[in-house]
Structure 1
Amino acid sequence: MMLRSWLPLLPLCLLAPENVRAGDAVAGSTPVELDRVRVVGVVPGDGASVPLAHRPYAVRRLDAQAIERMQAGDLTDALRRQMPGVSLNTVQGNPLQPDLQYRGFTASPLLGLPQGMAVYLDGVRLNEAFGDTVNWDLLPLAAIERADLVGGADPVFGLNTLGGALSLHSLDGFEAARTRLDIEGGSFGRRQATLQHGGNSGGFAWYLLADDWGEDGWRDFSASDARRHFGNFSWRGERGRVDLALAQAHSSLNGNGPAPAQLLRDDYDAVFTAPDNTGNELHQAHLRGSFDFTDTVRGNAGVYSRQVDTSSYNGDVADSEVCDDDPAYRCGEDGEPVLDTRGAPVAAAFDAINNLGERRQRMRGGHAQLVFSRPLGERRNQLVVGLETLRAKVRFRSHVEAATLDANRHTSAGSGVEMADAAVDLSATTRSHAFYATDTLWLTPALSLTAALRFNRTRIVLADRSGEDPDLNGRHRFSRLNPALGFAWDVSPALNVYASYGESTRAPTPVELSCADEDAPCKLPNQFIADPPLRQVVARSWEAGLRGDRGEALRWQAGLFRTRNADDILFQTTGGASSNEGFFANVADTRRQGLEASVQGGGERAQWYANYAWLDARFLDGFAETSAHHPDADADGVLQVRRGDRLPGLPRHQLKAGVDVDATATLGFGIDGEWRSGTYLRGDEANRLRRTGGYAVFGAHARWQATPRVSLRLRMDNLFDRRHAGFGALGAPDEVFAGYDDPRFLAPGAPRGAWLGVRFELL
């Protein structure tokens, strides 16, 4: 498997000409030492930037060097360890399928969650068209040069930037002129191998990566694998640059989700029902370029094509019962026999179902912008104007197959009995266009004012392809002009003050519009029934803070934020043993406010950091929630949520710290830890049940440079083997386990694990 992944890369590694290392002097040039200024992007790509001290938002950066030192397993793990306000919910129990949460907003690969973060790679939007989901498994960590986390509803970063945006930037051969092989293995049968090759010759550079990851998993039925390939081909001249980035990935992930709390007490590795497999296939191409028309005018543009095919196979307990009047067959809630597609009653022996689905998503987009760095009068000024366009076509098909549960609660396959009225064949076309402008004016050399506007227009067309579900057909339009205004002030060389206000929107996604009828609930991720109109979510965000930068010795930041969402969309549960049946609805306004504080520093031999985040996330309106499995719900499964109740799944407190030390020139080690408070369970928006328990976990890592070209690395997670659950939901365990009366389902955290890696610097 690993050899197949590397075959396209090996000839280039062997035949490539001698590299010109990044940073090598060009003949005849004189090195110039410049003052150190940290700059950050003001748009998702690399087209425009300003010094960090003049961004009116909180911006956190994680670069490749920091990721290397902490030995993170993947991108989301790196963000969780070091970024204040970032937490992970391991809902699926798979390390490549986490819910990443920041300031109470989510970027998740799972359909059904209210997404609230925009994620970009080199300016290409990674939120998928069908549900704004983010497939973290398709991103190779080794190819990331840096990650910038921008807080607040900055409208320039586009739709879904309710709580913030994550802007990722990839490596190229100018920055990573090397040939490197990393091999790692250890606990849970995990193994990973990554081969990188980069170099440059004159104005041309290339960077290639092949990554192969797999594990058996620490829970039952949890084997997974992912293969990622990435290539970046760059040319740069005196006034311009062109980059072509190609990506291909394939994954097969088993994440069997939360399990009943009573089951986990007896068997921590157990799953409720299985399998729950998701397969992703990615093909992406992105061509972008920039050109300096004059010393003060730069233009850049790009076009991209992104194709993601997803298959899902979810085994679940049947939502029907043995018929009272004829125990040979199964009946629904109305007492009528359940029929298959041939019109025959389904036999009572089929006590389970397999939900089978396919999603084909094709996205084509482009972006263009001009950056004017001309003074306005006698004041320094930077104006950025840009256009974005996106066309996405989605084809979704699903059906439900009758199955049986074995002694391990694993469903059978291949019965050939398909349930009537359960098949879906849906197409969705999304067209989105946007214009934006952002201007930063320096009123004085120390005080800058930033204003921004973005106009979004989105059109979504849904069509039933089967001819059996005309209620799926629908046309929806959403548009809005979102403003932002803020300032940043260098009070002194060591103190900076910033404040801002911004607005952003999230249009309802095709999956939400296709599953928005209380009288026709759907099952996630497969069945969709009807599409009453939903309103777009509008976020209004305030932010203010202080920060200081004394170089590598000390950097700190502390800030307050408040974001109010109007017409938040929530998935309301009407049934399903694991609460996967329900509908989407605009339920209430919500508010997320809090405090973030961080400090980091170090010297030549040590680096350290510490940060704290407090989050208060609440409903601002009361509403009647459909929560079928809540013990306090009425006979119709309805629960009254009050104004001021807290949003579930979000920790109120987080504290993180870590230190990394170079003990000698060849030996280094580090330790890090995270403590987070408990959260309310999803389905308990009324806050009537006890929360999940708070917990603290620690990790350690070490490295040894054995020779100039060979190094060893050791990483341990959950050092003290703490059992914990960072996420919980409500379900019906008694549908499988007679006598289980606790409706709480918990997502158990991974036990202690250790991995040993070796790195070979080949060239």
Structure 2
Amino acid sequence: MIPEGAIESMALYPSNPVYGLNSLGGAISIKTKTGFSAPKHELEVYGGSWDRHSEELTSGWNNGSFGYFIDLRHFEEEGWRDFSPTKADQVFGTLSWRGDRGSLDLTLGANDNKLLGNGAVPVQLLKEDRNAIFTHPDQTITRMFFSELEGKYDLTDDIVLSGNAYFRQNRIKTFNGDDSDYEACEDPVNGGFLCEEEGDEEERVVDINGNEVLASDGVEGATNNFSQTNMRSRGGTIQTAFDQDLFGHKNNLTVGVSYDYSEVHFQSDTELGALTETRGTTRSGILVDESRVRLNTDTSAVGVFLSDSFSITDDLIATVAGRYNYIHMNMSDGYITDAEKNLNGSHTFERLNPSAGLTYRIFDNLTVYGSYSESARAPTPMELSCADPEAPCKLPNSFVADPPLAQVVAKTWEGGFRGDLDELLGKGDLKWNLGFFHTINSDDIIFQRGGDSISEGFFSNIGKTRRYGIEAGSSIAYPQLFSTIDDWYFSANYTYLNARFLSGFRVQDPVDEDNEDGVWVDKGRRIPGLPEHMFKASVGVDLWQKLMLGIDGVYSGARYYRGDEANQHAKLGGYWLFNGRAEYKITENLALFGRVDNIFDVNYSSFGVYGEADEVLGDNYEDRRFVSPGMPRAGWIGVRLSI
């Protein structure tokens, strides 16, 4: 959505309701650059594998009172998989003012992206060709404009008033070429027509004009699913921070209110077609009536929040926070052909989410902390529009009903230690952390398969899920480790994640479609798609303060395929991945840099799901496992000029 060069810093905050809607496990705060934080001009250009090239120009300036920052970026590549070109154009800019007691920042941004990211591929096809795709194209076009005015004013030396107002418009178009569930009718009564199986019966396909579709080579074997989403949102936040002692103790209190309003106009269609020799799709112009969706939604959200940090002693700090959310959502169906299966609806969700925590400094270099928090997520319009088990919908569109869903509520306990061992290293800097987390989600929402196709299903609340584990990390900066010319940097992070269902429920067997009773998911089964072990490490060295060399290692553990909630089938294997980087400063203002990803050319997959390959590739492709393959070894070199 925004160019990377516009980002000054990113921070991950643990579960805290103050950060707003949907922050079940935490929130990522992105701070962007201004002419005061980045007062320089820079041009970066790089290119390499798969005809990838990127050009990015940033410029920042200030005179003490006024400043500007702008980032212009163009990215383009052919992609390492077949039929996967991508282009992205982004612009981001900020006009700033700084006064003795206040500040203002006006931010504008836009993008025009055309992304082709072809999806998962059958495992049998992947063994034949690592670059292969299943069907194509799978295109997403995004055109976004956003604006924000942010201001801050010091009412007194210890009371600060701040706020922001924003407007965002995002237009998204998708075009997905896929196989088809429609074929020539087998029943002589329906002879000559195109049909879809409904249980043990056939139903003739009807187009949007009410005509039954005749079977022919041009309408069998493929579908084109395309959608358009126009979103407009606006809102803002006002908050006041009080940095005043309370009962003789340091105290920081922040109170505020937020309002957000959004309108979404969504439309989708399925067009009949045929597959080409490369498994692309043709266009027939015939649109299926049952798949047409015209859905308009508007959502209002009000939030009132408070956060207070109180120093009980110089070493013991207590923090309490809370946020009340009120969300109202209206849904209007613009294409109703069955009065009993429409998307009209009105939904309201509200909740007060609290949190509390303690932080105690045991020694100058050792701190212990603990906290409890609650947060909530309201169902999305897509989930609410596809939640009827009696009328499953076809992803990514074909919404058919609007039964209610409950909001997801997460209750999280966290605790741990953090500190440093600087005195042990002497001239070095060593930071470390060790933490434990435990989250239970109530009324968690998943997509369950259902219907006659493996792509059909519905969203539902399935009771409780639990995620707990540990996070451990360390970072070391050690100058002149072996000599006067080398400065070293090390970091390592490990996460153990135990994610399981705490409520039993029934799902469709992803492998045996003839099993009408499905399979039962017992309490304690692992949640698919989430690895149990994750590890990241990095080693780098600066030589003569001119040459930087580094290598990163990532391990992601095995996980169950999406759709195997009952854990009955084999896991998707874990993998190690190593990437290298280098940079040489020719002068103070000119640098050459390079990067190699997947140094050892590991053949790995990052995601697994179930599908039906035999309908497109033939009866020999009976393995229902699909995976998202990781990219092979690749490299890029570039130049950076800054003044």
For the aligned pair, the TM-score class normalised by the smaller chain equals over 0.9
Give the alignment partner of residue 249 of structure 1, picking from 88, 108, 111.
Answer: 111
Q: Secondary structure of the equivalent of 1:226? A: strand
Give yes or no for the alignment of 1:344 onto 2:212.
yes
State the partner residue of 1:591: 466
Consecutive unaligned residues of structure 1, counting only runs of 5 or more, are 1-137
Q: 2:605 aligns with which of 725, 736, 748?
A: 725
TM-score normalised by length of structure 1: 0.80
C-alpha distance 430-501 of structure 1, shift in aligned 2 (>3 A): same
- Residue identity opposite 2:360 in structure 1: W
Shift, 1:467, TM fit: 4.2
Letter paired with 1:620: L
Query: 1:678, 1:726 within 8 Å by CA — same for their partners in 2?
Result: no
> CA offsets, 1:238-288, max 9 Å, x none?
110101011101111111111111110111111111111111111000001
Q: Distance in 2 between matches of 1:639 and 1:336?
A: 28
Equivalent of residue 531 in structure 1, options 402, 423, 433: 402
Cα 1:550–1:372 shift into 2, 3 Å: farther
CA distance in 1, matches of 2:226, 2:462: 30
CA distance in 1, matches of 2:581, 2:630: 19
Name the residue aligned to 1:755: 636
Structure exhibiting the larger radius of gyration computed from Cα positions: 2
Q: CA deviation at 1:576?
A: 8.0
Match of 1:330 in 2: 194
Measured against aligned partners, the alpha-carbon deviations of 1:594-648 in whole angstroms (never above 9, x if no partner) come to: 0000000113422210111100000001101135x333x6632622111000000
Q: Aligned partners of 1:540 and 1:553: how far apart in 2? A: 35
Contact 2:2–2:92 (8 Å) recurs in 1: no
What corresponds to 2:159 in structure 1?
A: 297
Which piece of structure 1 moves more, 303-312 or 519-528? 519-528
> TM-score with structure 2 length normalisation?
0.94
* Inter-partner Cα distance in structure 2 for 1:680 and 1:735: 24
Q: Write the letter of the residue equivalent to 2:441.
A: N
What is residue 456 of structure 1 aligned with on the other side? 325
Compute the displacement of 1:327 (Å): 6.6
Aligned AA (2:155): F
- After superposition, the Cα gap between the structure-2 partners of 1:724 and 1:689, relative to the gap in structure 1 and judged at 3 Å, is same
- 1:372 is aligned to 242
Asked if the contact 1:630–1:684 (Cα under 8 Å) also holds between the matched residues in 2, the reply is no
Contact 1:438 1:451 in 2 (8 A): yes
Match of residue 211 from structure 1: 73
Higher strand share: 2
Give the Cα separation in 2 of the matches to 1:544 and 1:388: 30
Which of the residues 139, 142, 145 maps onto 2:2?
A: 139
Q: 5+ residue gaps in structure 2?
A: 423-427, 480-486
- Give the match for residue 542 of structure 2: 662
- For these two proteins, the number of residue pairs brought into alignment is 620
The Cα shift of 1:469 comes to 5.5
Amino acid at match of 1:184: Y
1:608-757 alignment runs, 5 A limit: 608-627=490-509, 629-631=510-512, 635-636=515-516, 638-738=518-618, 739-757=620-638
| Contact 1:515/1:584, CA 8 A, preserved across alignment | yes
* Other structure's SS at 2:5 match: helix
Amino acid at match of 1:362: R
After alignment, is 580-589 or 201-210 more displaced?
Answer: 580-589
- The reply to whether residue 443 of structure 1 matches residue 337 of structure 2 is no
1:513 to 375, 379, 384: 384
SS at match of 1:511: helix
Contact 2:114 2:139 in 1 (8 A): yes
- Separation (CA, whole Å) in 2 of partners of 1:421 and 1:748: 33
Q: Which amino acid aligns with 1:149?
A: L
Cα 1:161–1:327 shift into 2, 3 Å: same
Equivalent-residue separation in structure 2 for 1:575 and 1:268 (angstroms): 32
- 2:355 paired with 1:488: no
Quick one: which amino acid aligns to residue 272 of structure 1? F
Amino acid at match of 2:507: E
2:425 aligned residue: none
1:431 alignment counterpart: 300
Q: Is the CA contact 1:482–1:503 (under 8 Å) kept in the aligned structure 2?
A: yes
Q: In angstroms, what is the RMSD of aligned CA positions? A: 1.4
Q: Classify 1:488/1:318 alpha carbon distance in 2 versus 1 (closer, same or farther; 3 Å).
A: same
Asked which structure has the greater RCO (Cα within 8 Å, sep 6+), the reply is: 1
DSSP-derived class of the 2:463 partner: strand
CA distance in 2, matches of 1:367, 1:488: 28
Instruction: Provide the rounded CA distance (Å) in 2 between the counterparts of 1:369 and 1:207.
Output: 26
Aligned with residue 570 of structure 1, among 441, 446, 449: 446
SS of the residue corresponding to residue 588 of structure 1 reads: coil
Query: Which residue of 2 is the match for residue 158 of structure 1?
Result: 20
Letter in 2 for 1:485: A
Q: CA deviation at 1:426?
A: 0.6
Once the two structures are superposed, what CA deviation does each residue of 1:62-115 show, in whole Å capped at 9, x if it has no partner? Answer: xxxxxxxxxxxxxxxxxxxxxxxxxxxxxxxxxxxxxxxxxxxxxxxxxxxxxx
Q: Distance in 2 between matches of 1:697 and 1:644?
A: 30
Q: Does 1:188 align with 2:50?
A: yes
Partner SS for 2:596: strand
Equivalent-residue separation in structure 2 for 1:518 and 1:706 (angstroms): 64
Q: 1:253 touches 1:278 (CA, 8 Å); kept in 2?
A: yes
Q: What letter corresponds to residue 742 of structure 1 in structure 2?
A: D
User: Deviations for 1:285-325, whole angstroms, at most 9, x for unmatched residues?
Assistant: 00010000011100001100011100010111111222113
Equivalent position amino acid for 1:650 in 2 = L
Structure 1 residues 637, 329: CA separation in 2 closer, same or farther (over 3 Å shift)?
Answer: farther
3-state DSSP of counterpart to 1:519 = coil
Q: Is the aligned partner of 1:170 residue 2:32?
A: yes
Identity over aligned pairs, percent: 41
Structure 1 residue 696, shift from structure 2 partner: 0.4
Task: Give the equivalent residue in structure 2 for 1:115.
Answer: none
Which residue is 1:356 aligned to? Answer: 226
1:580 Cα deviation from its structure 2 partner: 3.5
What are the Cα deviations for residues 45-66 of structure 1, in whole angstroms up to 9, with x where unaligned?
xxxxxxxxxxxxxxxxxxxxxx
CA deviation vs aligned residue, 1:480-512 (integer Å, no higher than 9, x gap): 011101011111111010000000000011111
SS of the residue aligned with 1:312? strand
* CA positional deviation for 1:649: 0.6
For 2:571 and 2:336, the matched residues in 1 are separated by: 45
TM-superposed CA distance for 1:237, in Å, is: 0.7
Contact 1:669 1:702 (C-alpha < 8 Å) held by counterparts: yes
